[in-house]
A = this chain, B = another copy of it.
């Protein structure tokens, strides 16, 4: 069976500016708030990416932060599958 890899992670935030400051300052991540129309999902580039935001380095992934709504199981790891 073809492997379906983990390609992304997600964590919640309560304050978009604060979470962006923290991860960019401590880990050097590129934090990009996608704006109101995208629910202020914050893209987190943890790895070297090309101009299309695709990761260039094997064994590394990017992720994202979403606005916290209610208690849930997080962080999430996101698995890429061929189909559902």
Contacts and interface: CB of A to CB of B under 8 A. Distances in A.
Interface stretch (A14-22, A35-43, A73-81): A73-81
A4, A9, A60 — which one has the most chain B CB atoms within 10 A of its CB? A60
A55 B55 CA distance: 13
Interface residues of A, number: 34
Nearest to A47: B5
Query: In the assembly, how many copies of this chain are there?
Result: 2
Contact of A5 (B4, B6, B24, B57): B57
Interface of A: 1-7, 9, 11, 24, 27-30, 45-48, 54-63, 75-77, 79-81
Given A6-B60, A55-B58, 4 more contacts: A5-B48, A6-B47, A7-B60, A60-B80
